[in-house]
Structure 1
Amino acid sequence: MSQSKRILVLSNMYPGPKQATFGIFVKNQVEALRSRGHIVDVVAVDNPSMGKKQVLLKYSKWMWQTFRTLAAKGRTYDVVHAHYVFPTGMLALLFKKVFKTRMVVTAHGGDIERMAKKNERIRNWTKKILHEADEVIAVGQDLQQAIISDFGIPKENVSLLNMGVNRTIFQPQSKKEARESLGIASGVRPLVFIGNLIPEKGIWELLSAYEQVQKKDPAVKLYLVGNPKKPSFLETIHTLIDEKKLAVEIKEAVPQQEVAVWMAAAEVFVLPSHLEGFGLVALEAMACGTPVVGTNVGGLRYLLAEDHGRLVEAKDSTSLADGLHEVLVDAKLRQTLTENGFERVEQYDQERIIDKLLELYGNVEEER
C-alpha cells in the first residue's frame, strides 16, 4: 500500500441524523479511503432541510467548523478535497492559500449545470475555484467538456472520474426474496425510482408515463423511494396520484442496504432525470442485476449507451412510457440489458476508482 495521506474532505452534502442517504456517495468514498489506511477528516453539511432559515443556519455552522479546522489542523493536511465546486470550493481555497495544501475539486453536475448559472457572481467564483484547483474531477463526460469549454480549464487538469459503485452492497440477489422482504405482493411487477422527489428528477414525466404503462399492464406498480426536499411538491404528487387513481407507493429514503434490496426487487429501474452528472444510482441498479431505463442526458447517455440500458428522451413522458413498455414486454431485451449492465459495473468498481483518485492526490510530500 502507498504511504498514508492525511486528507480533509469538504462537502455540502453528507449523511447525518436527519437523512442517512444525503450525499451518501461522498461518505462511501471517504470510508473507502479510510479502509486503505488513509486518515480522512470530514467537515460537511449533514442536514438536507431546504427552508431559508435552515439553510442559513446549516451553512453558517459548516463555515464556522471549517474555520476552526483551518486554525487547529490546517497545516497537517496533505490534500483538501472539495465535493461540489461552489460553495465548497471556496472553503477548500482557504487551505490552499494559507498552507499551500494540494486542492482537489469534484464537480458533480448541479454545481456546473445549475448553480454556476444562477448569477454572474457565482459563475465568477466557480471559474476562480476551477482555475485555482490542482486537480478538477468531473463525474461525467458532458460535465468534463463543459468545464473545459465553458470555464477555460486546460484539458489535462480535468479528470473524468465518477464515484464508483460499492459492490459489497450492490450485488445480485433473488428478485422473489427481495420482493417478499419488502412486502410486494406476488404477481406485482415493480417499477422503482430512487432519488430526491423533485421536479428535476423527472417525477412529473414518470407519473404520466406510468399512467400509460399501467393501462397496458395492470400488474405493473410504481414505487418512488426518496427524500421529498420540498413538502409542497410531495403534496402535489399525492394529489395527482389520487386524481389519476394510480397504483403508486411513496417510501421515505432508506439506508443503502435497503436501497440495494429495492433495486434487486425491481422489474425495471427508472431514472427520468432532466440532468444527471453521472447517474451513479443507475449503475448501482445494474450491479443488482436490474435493467435500467434512463434519460438521454449527462452521464446517463454514456452509461446506458449500446444496450447497457434503454435511453429515452428527457422531459418526454411518451418516450419514457415507450421505453418502459419495451423493456417490460421483452424478456430477451431485459436479459441483454442485465448482462451488459454487469459489464459496465466492472468498469466502475469503487476500488478501481479509489486507485485513480489516490493518483490524483499525488505524492504530496514531494510537492510541499
Structure 2
Amino acid sequence: MRRIALISAHTCPLLQPGSGWAGGMNVYIDELGRALAREGIGVDVFTRRHSRDVPETVVVEKGFVLHHIEAGPLREIGPERTHRHLGAFADRVVNQIRQTPDTSLVHSHYWLSGSVGLRVASLLGMPLVHSFHTLGRVKDRNRRSDAALSTFSRLVAEEDVIEGARCIVASTSAEKEDLVGHYGADESKICVAAPGVDHDLFTPGLKAPARIRMGWPDVPTVLFAGRIQSLKGADVALEAYLRLQRRIDRTRLVIVGAPSGSEGVRELETLQQRVKEADLVDQVTFAEPVPHREMADVYRASDVVVVPSRAESFGLVAAEAQAAGVPVVAANVGGLRSVVPEGSGGILVDGWDPEVWAEAIASILSDHELAASLAESGPLHAETFSWDLAVERIVDVYRQVA
C-alpha cells in the first residue's frame, strides 16, 4: 500500500478548529495525514474549495498533499448545502485520483464524505473505509428541545455508507455500540481505533506562566472550548457557572469558540445576553478560537475544563486537557466515557442539569487534593491516546481491506 485518498467534503482540515464547521475532525484528518506520511504512506486529502484565495493544491508536508476541489460556491456553505454539490465533487475527485495510479484505498470522513466515498470507490474499484465522527441518530437522541433533527437525507446516507463501506472505523467501543444498536451495522465490519493526542504539545505545565502568556487574571478559571452550537453544550457550561457563583467567590469562565452552523450566531447572542442579565460581564469572557498549537496554554491556564456535549463519538478537548494535566468535567455520553473514565483525570456527569454540573465543578475547585489527584492521573490516562497507536491500528485496517 503506497498511497491512500482521504475525503473531507464539507470542511478543509487546515481550517481553524472551533469555528464554522471546523472542529475535532479537522484536527484528526490533519494529524492522521501527517502521521501516515511519516510512515511512508502517501496521502491525498480532497476537500471542497471554499475560497478563491486558497490554492488548488497544498503540499502540507512531504507525502501529504491537500487538494481543493471546485464544486459549488467559493465560500463556506455548510453540510446541507454542500450535499447539493456532492456529485460534481465526487466526479472531480475520481478524475484527480486517476492521475495517481498508486492510490489503493479511499477513507472518507463524516456522512457527506461517505456518500462521495461510495461513488469514488465504486468507480475506481477500490475499497472504502469510513469514519463518521458524529452519527445523526445519536445526536438526535440527546438534542436540546429547540435543536433541529437530522435531515432525512443524512440518515439515509448514513445507512447507505454503513451498508456499502468495507470497514467502519469507530473512535470508541461506545460508537461501535451505537452503530450496531441504532443502525443495525454488521459488527464484523467495525473496527475501533481511537484518535491520538499530540503528546509533544499537550503536556502538563505551570499554571501561572500560562496565564501570563494568555493575559488572564490569576483566579480560579473554568474553561469551555468548542464550537458555539447546542450540540456542544456551551449553554450548560454557562448556566452551571452562574450557579457556581453561589458556591465559590472570585471565579472566571472562559468560552473559547465561535458560532457553528445555522443556529450558531443566535446561540452566541443568547449566551452573551444571559451574561449581561446576570451582571457577570467582567467574569465571563468570550474568546475567539486560537490555533490548535496554542491550545496547550489555554488548557494549562485553566483549573477545570468542562465538556458538556450532548453527543460525542470521542471528545478531543477532554483528551487534550487531561494530557495537559487539567481536570475535566464531562458529560457521561458516548466516547467521553472512554476518554474520561470516572476518577481518572476527571468527573462524568449524568444529564445536563446545571446544578449538578456546578456541584461537580465546585468539588474540584474547592478540594485541592482531589484537583491534584485528577491532574496527576489525567496525563497517565491520556497516554493511551497516541498517534503512534492510532496510526498503527488504522494502517492495520487499511492492509486488511486493501
Instruction: Tell me whether the two structures share a fold, i.e. TM-score over 0.5.
Output: yes
Asked whether 1:184 is paired with 2:216, we answer: yes
C-alpha change, 1:210 and 1:115, in structure 2 (3 Å) is: closer
Q: Is the 8 A contact 2:107 2:128 kept in 1?
A: yes
Asked whether 1:87 is paired with 2:112, we answer: yes
SS in 2 for 1:216: coil
1:124 Cα deviation (Å)? 3.1
User: After the TM superposition, which residues 9-88 of structure 1 pair with which residues of structure 2 at under 5 Å, given as runs?
Assistant: 9-11=6-8, 12-16=10-14, 22=22, 23-45=26-48, 54-55=77-78, 64-74=88-98, 76-84=102-110, 86-88=111-113
Asked whether 1:344 is paired with 2:381, we answer: yes
1:357 Cα deviation (Å)? 0.4
More helix per residue = 1
Aligned counterpart, 1:261: 297
User: After the TM superposition, which residues 236-315 of structure 1 pair with which residues of structure 2 at under 5 Å, given as runs?
Assistant: 236-246=270-280, 247-308=283-344, 309-315=346-352
Q: Is the 8 A contact 2:224 2:234 kept in 1?
A: no
Aligned counterpart, 1:97: 122
Decide which moves more: 120-129 or 311-320. Answer: 120-129
- What is the count of residue pairs matched by the alignment? 357
Distance in 2, Cα, partners of 1:341 & 1:155: 31
Aligned counterpart, 2:65: none
Distance in 1, Cα, partners of 2:15 & 2:184: 39
Aligned counterpart, 2:250: 219
User: What stretches of structure 2 of length at least 5 have no aligned partner?
Assistant: 52-74, 142-148
1:151 to 183, 186, 189: 183
1:66 Cα deviation (Å)? 3.4
SS in 2 for 1:8: strand
C-alpha change, 1:111 and 1:31, in structure 2 (3 Å) is: farther
1:8 to 5, 12, 28: 5
C-alpha change, 1:147 and 1:18, in structure 2 (3 Å) is: closer
User: What stretches of structure 1 of length at least 5 have no aligned partner?
Assistant: none
C-alpha change, 1:57 and 1:123, in structure 2 (3 Å) is: closer
Q: Is the 8 A contact 1:45 1:62 kept in 2?
A: no
C-alpha change, 1:352 and 1:16, in structure 2 (3 Å) is: closer
Cα RMSD over matched residues?
2.5
Q: Deviations over 1:151-187 (max 9, x none)?
A: 222222111122211112211221111111011123x
Q: Is the 8 A contact 2:17 2:27 kept in 1?
A: no
Distance in 2, Cα, partners of 1:173 & 1:45: 38
Aligned counterpart, 1:233: 267
C-alpha change, 1:82 and 1:305, in structure 2 (3 Å) is: same
C-alpha change, 1:115 and 1:358, in structure 2 (3 Å) is: farther
C-alpha change, 1:268 and 1:130, in structure 2 (3 Å) is: same
1:107 to 132, 141, 147: 132
Question: For residue 42 of structure 1, what is the amino acid of its counterpart?
Answer: V
Aligned counterpart, 1:205: 236
SS in 1 for 2:383: helix
Distance in 2, Cα, partners of 1:46 & 1:172: 37
Distance in 1, Cα, partners of 2:32 & 2:330: 24
C-alpha change, 1:189 and 1:301, in structure 2 (3 Å) is: same
1:212 Cα deviation (Å)? 1.5
1:200 Cα deviation (Å)? 1.8
Distance in 2, Cα, partners of 1:120 & 1:17: 28
Distance in 1, Cα, partners of 2:136 & 2:211: 36
Aligned counterpart, 1:173: 205
Aligned counterpart, 1:118: 150
Decide which moves more: 320-329 or 273-282. Answer: 273-282
For normalisation by structure 1, the TM-score amounts to 0.89
1:65 Cα deviation (Å)? 4.1
Distance in 2, Cα, partners of 1:69 & 1:222: 44
1:306 Cα deviation (Å)? 3.3
Decide which moves more: 241-250 or 95-104. Answer: 95-104
Q: Is the 8 A contact 1:135 1:157 kept in 2?
A: yes
Question: For residue 54 of structure 1, what is the amino acid of its counterpart?
Answer: I
SS in 1 for 2:382: helix
